[in-house]
Amino acid sequence: PETPSSSGSDTSIRPPMSAEERLMVAVRIRPLKPDETTRALYAVDKKHIILEDTDKFDVTRQKRALDKRYSFDVVFGENSTQEEVYEVTTSRLVKDVLNGYNATVFAYGPTGAGKTHTMVGDPNQPGIMVRALNDLFEAVKDKEDEYSVMQLLQKGNKARTIEPTAMNRTSSRSHALLSVTVRHSVPVDKKDHLRMRVRQGRLFMIDLAGSERANKTKNRGKRLQEGAHINRSLLALGNCINALSGGARYVNYRDSKLTRLLKEALSGNCKTVMIAHVSPSIAQKDESRNTLLYADRANNITNKIERNVLDVSYHVSQYHTVISELKDEITRL
Ligand code: ADP
Ligand code: MG
């Protein structure tokens, strides 16, 4: 086999555009329901949450001694709209993906806290997945490269057939993951169609399984248990987040399919947004505390972001497409 020459090679990576980027952590509080009487949690402002601890009332100081204040990149209060959540967390990622970056947005939290509402929503209040797909299709409409567009349409249409109600039924035990890859290859020079610029970005949108069981297991300090009631991959994700936020040298992504898929989102070349979901009700106080602690840990994770752009000859650009698709196949196994 020929060894690639260092000068004038077919594949020249453009000057790296990399940056350290911290994982963005958002928290969304769903509205109190009619049958829920008391709040234990509320947004103080656009960045802070107070979790009241009524069990630890300090009589002498006439205050709740252990009320805890948490701060995040952004807090969406009970009156936040779907549009606002999309604009602040994901619209920027969609633009990045079109420009050749990888991005992930994932919803975390216990069952009933509002993850599916945020990610999928309903026809009157469409969520992030629907809005992101709309924006992606809107953006590629005016692109010349029809073949790229067709690939996108196929993937998008497949994703659109996901029925929200069918997803909800199994949501507490399974993850819903939507991945869209945008790849365009355009001639570097309009007169020379033999040299192509390939730009590829991928957007992962994930509605995770309910976190309540994972939290309970962690609370008891037990080792990872397999069983119908415990979501193994969510535990693996928690372990990865713990390791990454603590600056561990070794992070085990191989424990589950989810963490293998999310390896890139958590440690690699990917802009990542986590939206943690909590209920304001006092009945869910413990779950809310666990979720806020988990999100707080994720706050410390930093990724190195690079743009995926290659200048290659026309035939290499075709191989590039095939290789990407084969890689996808492998990840799916
Ligand atoms: P999860 O997916 O986390 O289990 P859901 O998204 O199914 O939770 O939300 C549970 C219920 O609360 C649903 O009926 C949903 O419509 C409602 N809900 C959740 N978040 C909101 C919100 N921000 N505004 C209005 N209703 C919400
Ligand atoms: Mg759900």
Provide mean pLDDT across the span 220-247.
Answer: 64
CA distance 162 to 121: 12
Alpha carbon 121 to its chain's center: 16
Residue pair 99/34 in contact (Cβ under 8 Å)? The answer is no
Going from the Cα of 76 to the center of ligand 1, the distance in angstroms, rounded, reads 14
Q: Which atom of ligand 1 is nearest to the CA of 117?
A: 6
Q: 273 by DSSP, 3-state: which? A: strand
Provide mean pLDDT across the span 278-282.
Answer: 95
Going from the Cα of 116 to the center of ligand 2, the distance in angstroms, rounded, reads 4
- For residues 224 and 139, which has the higher predicted lDDT (pLDDT)? 139
Residue 28 has pLDDT above 90, yes or no: yes
Task: Give residues whose Cβ lies within 5 Å of ion ligand 2.
Answer: 115-116, 171
Residue 53 has pLDDT above 50, yes or no: yes
Going from the Cα of 112 to the center of ligand 2, the distance in angstroms, rounded, reads 7
Say what the pLDDT of residue 181 is: 86
ipTM over 0.85? The verdict is yes
Q: Is 174 in the pocket of ligand 1 (CB under 6 A)?
A: no
Tell me the binding residues for ATP: 109-116
Say what the pLDDT of residue 13 is: 40
Provide mean pLDDT across the span 201-219.
Answer: 73
CA distance 75 to 257: 30
CA dihedral 240, 243, 248, 249 (to 10 degrees): -10
Going from the Cα of 247 to the center of ligand 2, the distance in angstroms, rounded, reads 31
Q: Is 277 in the pocket of ligand 1 (CB under 6 A)?
A: yes
CA-closest residue to ligand 1 atom 16: 117
Lowest mean pLDDT of 10-19, 82-91, 126-135, 287-296, name the range: 10-19
Give the residue from 21, 18, 39, 22 showing the smallest Cα distance to 30.
39
Q: Which atom of ligand 1 is nearest to the CA of 29?
A: 23
Residue 166 has pLDDT above 90, yes or no: no
CA distance 179 to 200: 13
Say what the pLDDT of residue 160 is: 43
Q: Which two tokens stand for residue 321?
A: 């497409």
Q: Is 117 in the pocket of ligand 1 (CB under 6 A)?
A: yes
CB burial string 35-56: b at 16+ within 10 A, e below: eeeebbbbbeeeeebbbbeeee
Tell me the binding residues: 109-116
Q: Is 116 in the pocket of ligand 1 (CB under 6 A)?
A: yes
Going from the Cα of 139 to the center of ligand 1, the distance in angstroms, rounded, reads 29
Helix, strand and coil percent figures for the chain, each rounded to 5 = 40, 25, 35
Q: What is the mean pLDDT of the chain?
A: 76
Q: Is 171 in the pocket of ligand 1 (CB under 6 A)?
A: yes
CA-closest residue to ligand 1 atom 23: 30
| pLDDT classification of 62: cutoffs 50, 70, 90 | low
CB atoms within 10 A of CB 300: 14
Provide mean pLDDT across the span 137-141.
Answer: 78
Going from the Cα of 118 to the center of ligand 2, the distance in angstroms, rounded, reads 9
Say what the pLDDT of residue 213 is: 60
Say what the pLDDT of residue 63 is: 58
Provide mean pLDDT across the span 168-181.
Answer: 71
Give the residue from 230, 211, 216, 238 showing the smallest Cα distance to 110.
211
Say what the pLDDT of residue 273 is: 92
Q: Which atom of ligand 1 is nearest to the CA of 120?
A: 6
Provide mean pLDDT across the span 61-67.
Answer: 61
Most ligand 1 atoms within 8 A of CB, residue of 35, 106, 117, 287 to mutate: 117
| pLDDT classification of 1: cutoffs 50, 70, 90 | very low
CA-closest residue to ligand 1 atom 17: 114
- 165 CB burial (10 A radius; 0-12, 13-18, 19+): exposed
| pLDDT classification of 240: cutoffs 50, 70, 90 | confident
- For residues 205 and 153, which has the higher predicted lDDT (pLDDT)? 205
CA distance 273 to 283: 28
Q: Is 115 in the pocket of ligand 1 (CB under 6 A)?
A: yes
| pLDDT classification of 10: cutoffs 50, 70, 90 | very low
Going from the Cα of 121 to the center of ligand 1, the distance in angstroms, rounded, reads 8
Residues of the chain with pLDDT > 90, as a percent, come to 26
Say what the pLDDT of residue 73 is: 94
| pLDDT classification of 55: cutoffs 50, 70, 90 | low
Residue pair 209/172 in contact (Cβ under 8 Å)? The answer is yes
Give the residue from 34, 13, 24 showing the smallest Cα distance to 301.
24
Q: Which atom of ligand 1 is nearest to the CA of 28?
A: 23
